Amino acid sequence: MLPTENKPYGGRYELIQKIARGGMAEVYMAKDQLLDRPVALKVLFPELSVNVSFVERFRREAQAAANLSHPNIVSVFDWGEAENTYYIVMELVEGITLASLIRESGRTDPYKAAAIAADVASSLSFAHRHGVIHRDVKPSNVLLTEDGQVKVTDFGIARAATADGDLTQTGAVMGTATYIPPEQAQGLAVDGRSDVYSLGVVLYEMLVGKVPFAGDSPLAIAYKHVREEAVRPRVLEPEIPEALEAIVMKAMAKDPDARYQSAIEMRDDLQRFLNRQQVAALADFDPEATQALPLIDSNMGATHTELIRTAPISRVDNQDRGRNWMLIGIIVLVVLIAALLLGAKSFFNSNAPLPSATATVPVPGVVGESQTNATATLANEGLKSSVTTKTSNESSGTVLSENPTAGTQVKKGSTIALVVSSGPQKVSVPNVVGQTIAAAESTILAAHLEPNTNYVNNPAPVGTVISQSPAGSTQAPTGSTVTLGVSNGPSQVLVPNVIGQPLAQAANNLGSHNLTMGNVTYQPSASVPNGDVISSSPASGTNVAPNTPVD
């Protein structure tokens, strides 16, 4: 049964049918009667509304989410209180959830999975730059429209929910634990890299058809996220491209410092994969270093387990054993005699140099340092260096990797290969002035840049881009921000009260408020003197555009 019968929910929304139910709320298809448009109405369960701190967090997060305008984020139109609970009004997305796609299709084509993940990363990057961390990235919060567009939802209640979340609970928390980053599972601070981890788990599930960690309880799953290494995707599905596996494992690194440091970094690497370019994740990727051994399933046949067998000892082996021991004894005796002679020579001739091994040193860690400091550090250890450069989001001159890696023992005089950042790759900024905000944002995202929207009062049509920075046709680093000035329509003015004023005075009053006098209709009145105003439309106190005629 719908929450209300025969009356609009919240005084405005006509509920049509229930379309989903989650751990915190029910979602309805509804119609906004004021704006005459379809919407999705998420109604929180009433028991959540009794928690005062939850309600306050929910209010703040819903307001923050309502300010996120991005092609890959489900828009939040409104929120409010009705019937002893709270609700959020969102755009209605026609399509399916990513969870449904995985459930119905199993494994997803690697390139399709990478494209979906890239769009999700783009939405997360935009939210992070506006101070919103999702905290609950999972397939059921990723919507796929009928025309293939990716939209991420629930940027508003995740923080409110997780603040009171308890990993001893089941249901909705079980789903969250499946994608929870280690730091969140341990109750530590989270940031944008936490969303990167969860997206890595989602991409893993798309590629393999199952999640990396499963368990009987949320606590068991969360423990595995903290303590266990995931089986690499190519161990389970060898046809997955190695570059895409590297992206997954970098995103799912236990240590946030070892992950992509931002969602835009992950988005850019996914785009490089889709463009058949070298991905950054492969630079420090070793597919054997932490590869988990596959568990032996009781249902597997013997062919799945490689057995080590001891070869049988033959009679010839037994017959030769005595001769072998004699040969070993002779060799040992020769070595001892040589050692004694060498020792005697050294004893009687103190000037004779003792044989010594070539000196080795550990490779110092220089990743993250400037090229100048890195080469100086290596030189101090008696090591040489070679340098190659590559584009990167790191500042120009920063060391990205070293080979051999830090801590490796090498001979003095060895050459350490350094990869140094040449700075972000530059792209041409498209000119989007005059376009609608939706078209402009799509154009900017396609150029591997991030749009940032500022609404200003302007006579241009509402939603039209009136300025941008940097300007079109200039060069900007990949992933950098293009700030758009978007018309919010002309500034509003308040209709003054002209009732009881003579017509001429009323006209002057309207003019001083940047309004014009419209149609004048004369009507008889027993209480108002002849020639005075008895009514106006729009009424006094109404906000209207400048130069609006008042009848």
Predicted local distance difference test score (pLDDT) of residue 292: 37
pTM of this structure: 0.52
> Torsions phi, psi of 344, nearest 5?
-65, -45
Task: Name 544's Cβ contacts closer than 8 Å, sequence gap at least 6.
Answer: 492, 493, 495, 515, 538
Task: Name 87's Cβ contacts closer than 8 Å, sequence gap at least 6.
Answer: 9, 10, 41, 42, 43, 44, 79, 80, 81
- On average, the pLDDT of the chain sits at 80
pLDDT of 91 > 80? The answer is yes
Closest CA to 189 of 167, 153, 159, 220: 159
For the chain, the residue count is 551
Predicted local distance difference test score (pLDDT) of residue 23: 67
Residues of each domain in the chain carrying CATH 3.30.10.20? 361-421, 426-487
Least confident range from 324-328, 386-390, 530-534: namely 324-328
Strand-pairing partners, residue 502, are 532
Domain 1-92, what fold?
Answer: Phosphorylase Kinase; domain 1 (3.30.200)
| Band of residue 72 on the pLDDT scale cut at 50, 70, 90 | very high
Phi-psi region of 316 (alpha: psi -120 to 50; beta: other; left: phi over 0): alpha
Show which residues are catalytic.
Answer: 136
User: Does domain 94-288 fall into CATH 1.10.510.10?
Assistant: yes
pLDDT of 157 > 70? The answer is no
* CA–CA dist 252, 200 (Å, integer): 5
* CA–CA dist 228, 232 (Å, integer): 12
Q: What is the mean pLDDT of residues 18-46?
A: 86
Query: Per the structure block, which two tokens stand in for 320?
Result: 């030769």
User: For 504-548, what is each residue's pLDDT tens digit?
Assistant: 888 888 888 888 888 888 888 888 888 888 888 888 888 887 788
Thinking of the domain 361-421, which architecture would CATH place it in?
Answer: 2-Layer Sandwich (3.30)
User: For 440-471, what is each residue's pLDDT tens digit?
Assistant: 988 999 888 999 988 888 888 888 999 999 99
Report how far apart the first and last C-alpha atoms of the chain are (Å, whole number): 47
| CB-side neighbour CA atoms (13 Å) of 32 | 16
Best CATH choice for the domain 426-487 from the list 3.40.47.10, 3.10.310.30, 2.40.10.500, 3.30.10.20 = 3.30.10.20
| Band of residue 61 on the pLDDT scale cut at 50, 70, 90 | low
